[in-house]
Amino acid sequence: MNKKHGTHPKMCNFISMNIPFHVLALRMVIILIISSVCGYKDVLAQQTQLTLVTSPYPPFVNPEGDPVGEGIDIDIAREALSRGGYRIKVVMVPWKRALNMLSDGQADLTTTISKNEDRDSYLAWTQGYRNSVEYRFYGKKGDTRKLTTLKDLEGMRIGITLGYFYPDALVKRQNVNYLSGNTISNTVQMLTKGRSDFILVNNIAGLWEIKKLGLTQELELQALKYHSDSPTYMAFSRQTNFEKPLNVMIESLKQMAKDGSIQRIEKKYIMDKAN
């Protein structure tokens, strides 16, 4: 008879058990609620996960799988956004491609970036979270040429790294031959192989890479140093729903500066490498 009238076998089981209708209805409501909650959690997870696109710049952004950690600025971004309920997925690509992804809305944010007018059209900025950068020069040990003043750069081949900010006072000088490496490691190796006379690096990033390559005994830090007041920023793509996470980042960075979290994260990397 069930087959004749097309009654579902499970329904027959319910009927045969003589379960009151209101109990069956309650069960169905519970099932619907559970399904709805699970679906909402899936949607919420998608809404609160942000894609952070960047390229390696140790120790601020470390290559994937680095034993020390993801890097100073990745850790800062992750903790800051977590305070507002956001999670991040880190995507590593060449820096030029990272900027294109932000411009096109394929990524939500990046770290360790300098502000300029060309980027204002597609990026929304946090306040600066690192407000001073020291630049240093390295040469090969045994080289009698020394850099003590900016004038000493004249006639020299200076290695720099593509995609990174340098003050005009250092990289737009007359009678200086600037040579570019794709990474800081490439730039350091240009010096060791004699293709440049000196290299110009961010003090922290340069020292990190030189120690990592085991070259501290081969290279000599020069007396010439240059301080830049150009801040470092986090930036969000204007092609995404950036307002809420941007505000979370701004407020969290303020809190982290006050409660010592930024300094704690920096010490994890700088102190480890200094030892």
How confident is the model at residue 29, as a pLDDT?
62
Q: For helices 72-82 and 243-259, give the axis angle rounded to 10 degrees.
A: 110
In this prediction, residue 35 carries a pLDDT of: 53
What value does the mean pLDDT of the chain take? 87
Orientation angle between helical segments 261-274 and 203-212, nearest 10 degrees? 40
For residue 110, name the pLDDT band (cuts at 50, 70, 90).
very high
Cα-Cα-Cα-Cα dihedral of 106, 111, 115, 116, to 10°? -40
Give the residue with greater pLDDT, 80 vs 231: 80
| 2 has pLDDT over 80 | no
Q: How far apart are CA 151 and CA 3, in angstroms?
A: 97
Handedness of CA 72, 125, 115, 95 (dihedral sign): positive
Share of the chain above pLDDT 90, in %: 72
Query: Looking at residue 17, what is its pLDDT?
Result: 52
Tell me the C-alpha distance between 167 and 185, whole Å. 21
User: What's the CA gap between 201 and 203, in Å, rounded?
Assistant: 6
41-55, 87-101, 229-243: range with lowest mean pLDDT: 41-55
**Could you read off the pLDDT of 203-219 as tens digits, one per residue?**
999 999 999 999 999 99
For 226-236, the pLDDT digits (tens) are 999 889 999 99
Q: 5-9, 47-51, 58-62, 133-137: lowest mean pLDDT where?
A: 5-9
Q: Give the pLDDT confidence score for residue 211 in this predicted structure.
A: 92
Q: Are 86 and 245 contacting, i.e. CB atoms less than 8 angstroms apart? A: yes
Continuous segment of H or E residues that includes residue 135 = strand 133-140
Q: Is 57 exposed, middle or buried (0-12, 13-18, 19+ CB in 10 A)?
A: buried
Q: Residues 144-179: pLDDT tens digits?
A: 999 999 999 999 999 999 888 899 999 999 999 999
Please report where in the chains the tokens 């900010």 appear, as a residue: 165
Which ranges of 87-235 would DSSP assign to H, the alpha helix? 95-104, 117-120, 168-171, 184-192, 203-212
In the predicted structure, residue 261 carries a pLDDT above the cut 80: yes
Whether pLDDT at 24 is above 90: no
Tell me the sheet residues that pair with 57.
61
Mean pLDDT computed over 1-15: 47
Q: How far apart are CA 243 and CA 236, in angstroms?
A: 9
